[in-house]
Amino acid sequence: MNNRYLTLLILFLSAVSCEPEISEFKPGSGNADFSVFVTIGDSQTAGFANNELYKSGQIVSFANIISRQLLHVGGGEFKQPLMRDELGFGNKLSLGFVADCYGDSLLLPVPSGGIPDETNTSNIFAEEGPFHNLGVPGAKILHLQAPVNSTGNPFYSYFARFASAPSTSVLLDAMSLNATFFSLWIGTSDILDYAMTGGTGNPVIDTHEFSTLYHSVLMTLTSGNAAGIVANIPNVLNAPFFFHIPPSGIWVEDTLSPSGKRMLEENEIVLLRAEERIKCDGWGTEAIPLPESFYLSKSQVMLIKERTAQFNTVIKQTASEFNLSFLDMYSLFENTTDGITFDGITFTNTFISGGLYSLDGISLTRRGNAIVANAFIEAINKKYDSTIPMISITQFQGIEYP
């Protein structure tokens, strides 16, 4: 062989030997056992969207998305207390064209209509339980250990339909499943219940009490040596329900003001449900100042932010104490005003068109749930050296347009 071809052969073989090996992705459980997965939380865990809990929304809950991905790494059956139809208890919103007070046709959230299946309110535990998704719309930290028949949560009719007994609690039903792995995302409703009523609803729980209850919940969940992941609380004021408008020209009621009214100030927030009243009914004028339940004052905004930060400190410290995976949901959603991008799609907190929040302005869309599911999976993989496959966001629909 002449020297020229010999040299070329040597160079070719050298190049081939230097090519990096492409390793095939192999799902694996790592240091965790995912055979019995249980999720505990509030509206988002349950699959609540568009102001209601309904069947297709539950199917695309972030919890159910995670459970499907866990099937690749030894995950087992994951039962959800599915509604019988797409109407739930009858409060669902859909997009529809409506005429506003000026006669203009606008695409806005409207009641979906229809008659819900009457069995949606019936207990289904005996025929379909036990259930692995124990997310209850509106649930607060204190509700997790409270019996169904003694809690003050108006949404607990959702839990009553799949609880194992009238005297049970979310935590008791969770422990009866002998979970090997759990997720806990709780605390958001503790903030929201106050924020969504303009600070006129139930006061936000004291941080010390929240800490005591949160510690108790995790002590119980880990008592059987289950591993798990916890998530902290996002800044709820970033959701489109909290309508950020320039303060100039908006009059509001204020019992602390000598005249009982004043102008809206910088860093105060008007709630989304006031928008139509301001536009069509003359609210926000000096003659008809905006009621206190329709906006958040500076002190209320400050309380919400401070309590969120305090609760998040508790959640992170307690997760570390019990050696659990921790997901920083606050950071995940903090930049939604400017936009967050996943799988080439940019999401914002703009109402309807932003693609992240559903028609109630608080809960997430299907794609929003997929984003959350991937965030959970990423955090689990990092903590437990597992390789749970992620899900493509593009598989899921955003807002449904007529």
**251-260 — which CB contacts under 8 Å span 24+ positions?**
251/284, 251/285, 251/286, 251/288, 251/289, 251/290, 252/284, 252/289, 252/290, 252/291, 252/292, 252/295, 253/289, 253/290, 253/291, 253/292, 254/292, 254/297, 255/292
Average pLDDT over the chain reads 93
The dotted CATH code for 29-239+297-395 is: 3.40.50.1110
Cis omega (within 30 of 0) on the bond before 130?
A: yes
Q: What is the pTM of this model?
A: 0.92
Return the DSSP state at 390.
P
DSSP code for 306: H
In sequence order, the 6+-apart residues with CB closer than 8 A to the CB of 88 are 52, 53, 54, 116, 120
Q: Of all residues in the chain, what percent are helix, strand and coil, respectively (each to 5)?
A: 40, 15, 45
3-state secondary structure of 111: strand
| Lowest-pLDDT choice from 75-84, 107-116, 152-161, 388-397 | 152-161
pLDDT of residue 151: 64
Closest CA to 243 of 265, 274, 215, 264: 274
State the amino acid at position 295 in one-letter form.
Answer: Y
Beta pairing, strands 251-253 & 345-347: unpaired
In order, the DSSP letters of 209-277 are HHHHHHHHHHHHHTTT--EEEEE----GGGSTTEE----TT-EEE-TTSTTSEEE--TT-EEEGGGHHH
- Per-residue pLDDT at 16: 45
Contacts of 315 by beta carbon, 8 Å cutoff, 6+ apart = 187, 214, 230, 231, 232, 233, 326
Residues in the chain: 402
HSE toward the beta carbon, residue 306, CA cutoff 13 A: 10
Helices then strands, counting H and E runs in the chain, come out as 13, 14
Q: How far is CA 219 from CA 93, 153, 233, 321, in A?
A: 39, 23, 20, 10
Question: What's 324's DSSP letter?
Answer: -
Residue 155: its pLDDT value, please?
74
Given this model, what pLDDT does residue 149 score?
75
Most confident of 5-19, 111-125, 150-164: 111-125
The H-or-E segment that residue 372 falls in is helix 366-384
- Rounded distance between C-alpha atoms, residue 251 and residue 263, angstroms: 4
Asked whether the beta carbons of 120 and 132 are under 8 A apart, the reply is no
Q: How far is residue 132's CA from residue 46's CA, in Å, rounded to a whole number?
A: 11
pLDDT at 164: 97
Is residue 34 within 8 Å of residue 180, measured between CB atoms?
Answer: yes
What band does 4 get if pLDDT is binned at 50, 70 and 90? low
Q: How far from chain centre, in Å, is Cα 193? A: 14
Q: Which residue has the higher pLDDT, 153 or 203?
A: 203
**Helices 298-321, 207-221: crossing angle, 10 deg rounding:** 30
Q: How confident is the model over 341-349, as a mean pLDDT?
A: 97
3-state secondary structure of 377: helix
Q: For the residues 6-21, what does the mean pLDDT come to?
A: 48
For the cut 90, the answer to whether the pLDDT of residue 13 exceeds it is no
CA distance 72 to 59: 18
Distance CA 278, CA 301 (A): 21
The string of pLDDT tens digits covering residues 352-380 is 999 999 999 999 999 999 999 999 999 99
